[in-house]
Structure 1
Amino acid sequence: MCVGSLLKDTMEKYGRRARDWEREASLGFGCLLVHLNLYLHNKSKKIGMFSPLLIKVILVVTLLINSVLGFFVYKNNPKSATNIIFTYLSLVTSLWLIVEYLAVFPQVSLIFARLALFFSLPQSSLFFLLAHTLPNEKLQLQKSKLLLLLFLNLFLMLLVVSPYTFKAIIQVGDRLDVAPGIGMLIFLIFVSLLFLFTIYILIKKIHTSQDIQTRRSLVLVLTGMIMMIGLLIFTLVIPVILFQNSYAVRFTPIYTLFFLIPTSIAIIKYQLFNIKILATRVLVGMILLVVFIKLLLSKTSTEWLFNGAIFAIVVFLGILLFRSLRYELEAERAIQEKLKIEALEKQKDEFFAYVGRQFRSLLSGFQEFVHDIAGGVYCQPTKELSNALETVSRDQERMATLLETHLAMTGGDQSAIHCEYEEQNINDCISHVVEELTPTARMKGLHIAWRRNDALPNVFCDYEKIRQVVWNMLDNAIRCTDVGIVRVIAKKDKDRLLVTVADLGIGFTIHDEKKFFEKFSRGGNIERRQSPGMGLGLYISRLFVEAHGGTVFAHSAGPAKGSEFGFWIPFRNADV
């Protein structure tokens, strides 16, 4: 429902009450304008409190800020249409501020008053183009509409420099001012429509944008624009048209900063974080300069003390602001880095999940082939071949278990690890692993010291998963040891089974000790050895042990002093 029809329905519903409310609102708004005019009129009589030097300082500092913002935005991405439009807007705004100043200082000038409107037209159009393009790198407005906008600008720019907009300079009380003509109405309608379309486009983009960062940038731009337009309308446009009072013209440089600073931050916020600090420093510096000049111009000791106190407070608050902003930017950087890492982690998981599914299909076919050979489909296997096929079959089962675990992890559901609990002899489990890895150890000149502990009771566990844990730890010890013995021990520790794998290898630091069982994490010493591996073995071992209600651990006396990896699991998990 449009605003007009909604207002009409409301008026019909409430009748006299709505009409009374309308009269009171109109009267209240009229009183507000009268009070605004009286305030500006009184201030204009006290113009001496704003020295020409102070007004020039405000203008120069604002122009400097505009130049710095335009330069940084353009340098951030010179090929982006958004950045180029903002740079042009910054340039045109600076020209408009200079002409606006010359229109009233040292006295009212008809030529410069017309030129102020002349430059405000391309400024308004650039506002519209910026809202329409942001945050894209290419111009979004159709060529036909762009040409129409250009034609209207040229026509109105010729109109505003004619006598139809500002007719003459007139005497208003004890001061001079300009008298608006019919062209001023056309100018205001065009500029108002452009600003309304600009705000509408920004609001629409905020509602339709799916990206949180883009939405925040657009909200920042919209807020700055509404603040600037509101200040210009209520302190400049309305007083000039209704009361021929141009007192607030001297504040227009400050008004523009309400838009330009947030917009520049929004454009390059996520590419150049230091722009926030830069803009804040410039703004605080401008305030300090103004306060310092007032301090120098103080006429009495009381006024000097007062201005000095204000200067000290601004310095103190500025320091606090810089520190707060720096902490905010550091936190923002950390969040951005975390989001990037999470995105890369997700891509990596998706890739490994795809590879895992393909490998599982190949492994299933290979398992069927081995099963057929062992079953005598092709020929009757010998005893030696049957033993070899049994070893291959165990390895296939181990790989299948590892693949299922891997696919569960990459799917984001670690609780999907399924355990099949049965009573198992842990000595047999460890002996099979030692048997498999002994050839690898002998190739490096190592000896695996393992002695069965027949006093151990049977363990209620998933045989393949516990076997995989022992295999991972023993394989790790062999790869990280060059000489000596790798010792495997299984014993009873109260009501738990304790299995340890100790070596005389490269060892590790306390810092590495905390990372070994994390996903894709490896020790610093292992990285320096360029040992093959992805940092998943011990992580998977931790998941398997924790699924049995146990814990894993790793200890070392330091680099080159060997290490010990192990785990505890209950002989019978109470949760099963």
Structure 2
Amino acid sequence: MLSIIIISLIILSTLILGLLVFLNNPRDRVNQLFLIMIFWIVVWQLSNFLQNEQTAVEFSNILLRLDFMSAILVGYSWIAFCLRFPKPGPRSLRFLKTIILLLGVVFAALSFTDLIINDIHFQDGAIRFQEGVLWIFYILTLVSFFTWAFCNLLFKLIKLRGIERVQTLYVLIGSLISSLIAIVVNILFSNVVTIDQSRIGIYGIIFFILFTAYAIIKHQLLNIKVIAVELFAVLLVIITFLEIFTAASTSEIFARVIIFIVTLVFSILLIRSVLKEIKRREEIEELAAELAQANKRYEKINKKLQKANVELKHLDDAKSEFISIASHQLRTPLTAIKGYGSMLLEGDFGELANEKQQKAIKIMAISSDRLTNLVENLLNISRIESGRMKFDFKPGDLNKLARDVHDSLKKNAEDRGLYLKFKEPEEALPPVEMDDEKIRQVVINFIDNAIKYTKKGGITVSVFKKGDHLECCVADTGMGVSQEEQSKLFKKFARGKDAFLINTEGNGLGLYVANMMVEAHKGHIWIESEGEDKGSKFCFSLPLADSETGNKLVEESKKEEERRVREKGEKGKLQVKSKEQESKKT
């Protein structure tokens, strides 16, 4: 009795599952195929169960053959379903589908002959049979049907994304477990197992039902809410319609007709409302799935970018290290060239024979000076970018520093027919927090550039207080700078559009180094110009020594120095440890 109840519940659950899928969209080919497959599963369940019941002994022969026929048709309908679920496969498989259909029909028909099974009888209360000559071909065909279907579903699973992938996965797992149990128990070992054991195959269908139901409920394989509302609405309309015929009077008939119409309208509106809600939800879920996929792609791209950034940083560090080493190697011969050139000009090795020799050595000295400046700029860039640049911050007189640079370069300006003025401040200026050597280099760069790129007129240098900063400006009457080029001048290797026409020796590093030096002082650097041929004014600002920014600069400088000392100490310990290990080995 218990087995009858269990089988009845399983068959009922299978039918309900098939009807739910079909009613979700009766015109959908996938839903139709699913219902056909469920029909043959139910036929197989009933025939498999009843063939061993003593109350149906007289039909055992027909039921067993129906069992084998429905099994092969389940296999065929399962292939047909998998080829279209969740999306149709390629049309090139039509020929194979035709062959599968023919094989399914042929073996289904042969199930009622002795070619597959014969000599059907009862033994020890269980139905038994002898394998026919085509038995092995039947088994191979059945197994091939299910194997191909599962492989097709598995290949689709690899390509699918989002909710369709999850749905397909659950359907695949559930059907695979149920099919394996049914084929092994009810086909391969059907002549060996007992009656109770033979029904394990029927019970195994529960896995297919549970996994598919989970996909339906948890992952919206079907619009269960729509189906439930539709069934409820139809039932309500039918009841109110039938109530009309049970009315005892005309007034009662009229009232029930009104109720029926109201119920009908209400049901239609309810179904429409639910459909709209589900449509919105599906759109949101699709967008959420797309967003999730996009996020994954962005995460992958971000990881690749981070990896590339690390590699670029390593390359940049290697480049800076190379420039630093190369620059150091260049400084030694340049110092020798510069020194010996100066000694030759001063006559330390004897008087030069003629002016031509003197001119050649002067050109050599100028070129070595230019190359020395380039090397120094490259070294400074390498040090700053690698964090190895040391700054000696202390209160200093920016006005005096600017005046000293002005005095040292005044003759250069006069030699080119230009004036170089220094505008003294009206009152004494407070000290700023600075590294004297680095800021001197910035001022030299500003004034030297102004001299090189000014044809007539001159240059004015001024220092003045503005808020909690001092500003140093170098204004010239030279070629000027367009608005477009102003933002580019402080970048590495950047030069003005027509700068090479006036000065061919520039390399575009001076202002870049100046910018880095000023930024390291927590200052600001900028250019002011009304346009080409209207002159320009290069300025930078530094924080006052007693200002909040100045104090912060000193504190950070101390921490950086402590860090360097600590790292140097740790590096020394590692070197000592390494030497001790080497001595132990020897």
Q: TM-score range by the shorter chain?
A: 0.3 to 0.5
TM-score, length basis structure 2? 0.46
Q: Normalising by the residue count of structure 1, what TM-score does the alignment of the two structures yield?
A: 0.46
